[in-house]
Each structure stands twice: as C-alpha cells, then as structure tokens.
Amino acid sequence: MQTKQLMISLSNGVQMPLLGLGVYDMYKKEAVQAVLYALETGYRLIDTASMYRNETEIGNAVNQSGINRNELFITTKVNNDEQGYEKTLRAFDASLQKMNLDYVDLYMVHWPIKLTRKFTWKALERLYHEGRVKAIGVANYLIPFLDELSIEATVMPAVNQVEFSPYLFQEELLNYCREKNIQLQAYSPLVRGQRMNDPKLLSVAQKYNKTPAQIILRWAMQLGISTIPKSANPERLKENFDVFDFEINQEDISFICSFNENLRIVDDPMALL
C-alpha cells in the first residue's frame, strides 16, 4: 500500500492531506486499533473531537505508532457545551492533555452554537496566535455563518468541515469557500453506505474498475475537497485509501455532481441560525 498521497496547502501555508480518517463513534480498543491500522496503511490525517469521547485513545494510538509527530495531521474540535471564550481555552487544554500531545494541527468549532460561536472563535484566534495550533477552522458552517464570522474575525477559518457527498452536493458553499480560500472538508462522504447500490454510481465504478466508495472519494479529491471517511474495518480502510492510482474524466466528474438529492445524514446546521 502506497503512503504517498495528495497534499493541499491551507491559506496559511500549512500542508494537510486530502484524505484522512474520521473516528466518530469509535471507542476504547476499537478506536486505538483503527488509528494504528490506518497509520500503518498510510493515512496521516486523523480527525477526532471532544464530542467523540475518544481523544485519549486517539492520542494513545498516535504515540504508539512510532511515526514522527511532524508527519501527522491531527484535528480535534471544541464541544458544544464547552464553547465560549474562557471555556474554549480550557477545553483545548483538556484535549491536549487527553491526547498527550504538545499541539494539534487543526482546532475547530464543532457546531455554530448561536450564543457562543463568536466568543469561541476569538479563543481559537488566540490559540493560533500563540502558536498552540497550526491552523484553526470551523465545522458545519454554511454561508450565513461564514458571512457572520467574516465581520469580526481577524483570522478566517483555514478549513470548513461539513457534510458533503454526491448526494448532498453543496455547490454554492463549495464555490464560496474556494473564493474565500477556505479549504472545504467533507464528513460522511460515503453517506454511511446508503447509496452504494445506486445504479448511476455503480456504472461509474464499473467503468474504472473501482468500488463505489473509491469513486466517491476520488471525485471529491479531484474537486479539491478533503475527505475523512470513517471506518474501523481493516479491509475498508485499505479500500478507502486505494484511490491514488486513477483519475475520473471530467465528463464523469460532472455526472457524479448531478447525483444531488439534498440527502443529509446529520442535522441541518441552518437550524442553529
């Protein structure tokens, strides 16, 4: 399995892998083993969050792996009930302690909670200016939230992590982030398996002799979108990583973009506006 993968340069010059591992809903031994196997396979981006309650396990796996810290890209996020200026600073310290790390590569606001999001972002800016994080970002921020943030922010998010897939193709948000030099990152890119038997997707997979999941991940990468598919299954981890040896032609990229159903797996962030 090759370990060389595509990297992208964030707005501040920090390099981030286009493909990573999401660890939502992984706990204890499963979380440790999944990360260790992912790192062995070649993954270098690991995405966790305080909300996931597995930061300790992720840190243990990172430290057990023997891989130089500067070769890894570790993301975590401030939980909704930890938001606010002082609470966010304390939450960050707690996350570092749980992971037994000196820094994280990307620290994010997990959800745009109405009463606290402005203060939370100010705390992230402080962490960034102090050099305790390499980059700061947001998750589940649609255009209205990004517009609001831009009014007062002294540092704009380097990354915006949202639910994004061919079946939730948020083209307007993608174009907005491109214009603002915000890297879009997709969670649940594989729709938790709900569309793997879609005949349209299967036709493309057959054409390239790849699996439906590999087609979706490659499609996202060719659009310049980072993806963090979740799996603890060793074979699935290998499958998801085996996407660097082919390219989808532009006609098929456009065809996949037409799959949109506005299908959401998680809550619509607009409910928080």
Tokens 């792996």 found at: 65
Q: Categorize the per-residue pLDDT at 4 as very low, low, confident or very high, splitting at 50, 70 and 90.
A: low
CA 30 from centre of chain: 20
Q: What is the pLDDT of residues 74-107, one digit of tens each?
A: 999 999 999 999 999 999 999 999 999 999 999 9
Q: Specify whether 52 is catalytic.
A: yes
Amino acid at 244: F
Local structure of 205: helix, strand or coil:
helix
DSSP 8-state assignment for residue 168? B
- C-alpha gyration radius of the chain: 18
How many Cβ atoms are within 10 Å of 160's Cβ, its own excluded?
26
**Cβ distance 174 to 143 under 8 Å?**
no
pLDDT at residue 85, rounded to an integer: 98
User: The domain containing residue 25 runs over which residues?
Assistant: 7-262
pLDDT at residue 6, rounded to an integer: 87
Classify residue 105: in a domain, yes or no. yes
pLDDT at residue 1, rounded to an integer: 43
Handedness of CA 25, 30, 35, 39 (dihedral sign): negative
Domain count, the chain: 1
DSSP 8-state assignment for residue 137? E
CA gap 112, 202 in Å, rounded: 36
CA distances 141 to 3, 48, 144, 217, Å, are: 31, 17, 8, 21
Catalytic residue selected from 24, 27, 37, 52: 52
pLDDT at residue 272, rounded to an integer: 86
CA distances 149 to 138, 203, 257, Å, are: 10, 41, 28
Q: What is the pLDDT of residues 180-209, one digit of tens each?
A: 999 999 999 999 999 999 999 999 999 999
Percentage of the chain modeled with pLDDT above 90: 97
Classify residue 268: in a domain, yes or no. no
Classify residue 270: in a domain, yes or no. no
Classify residue 187: in a domain, yes or no. yes
pLDDT at residue 5, rounded to an integer: 72
Classify residue 272: in a domain, yes or no. no
CATH of the domain at 101: 3.20.20.100
Classify residue 31: in a domain, yes or no. yes
Classify residue 100: in a domain, yes or no. yes
E strands, the chain, are 7-9, 15-17, 21-22, 45-47, 73-78, 104-109, 133-139, 159-163, 183-187, 226-227
**Cβ distance 226 to 217 under 8 Å?**
no
pLDDT at residue 72, rounded to an integer: 98
Q: What is the pLDDT of residues 37-47, one digit of tens each?
A: 999 999 999 99
Amino acid at 247: E
Q: What is the pLDDT of residues 112-169, one digit of tens each?
A: 999 999 999 999 999 999 999 999 999 999 999 999 999 999 999 999 999 999 999 9
Q: What is the pLDDT of residues 241-270, one digit of tens each?
A: 999 999 999 999 999 999 999 999 999 999
For the cut 60, the answer to whether the pLDDT of residue 3 exceeds it is no
For the cut 60, the answer to whether the pLDDT of residue 56 exceeds it is yes
Classify residue 2: in a domain, yes or no. no
Instruction: For residue 226, give every residue at least 6 positions away whose Cβ sits within 8 Å of its Cβ, in sequence order, or none.
Output: 8, 16, 17, 18, 19, 20, 45, 159, 183, 184, 185, 186, 220
DSSP 8-state assignment for residue 133? E
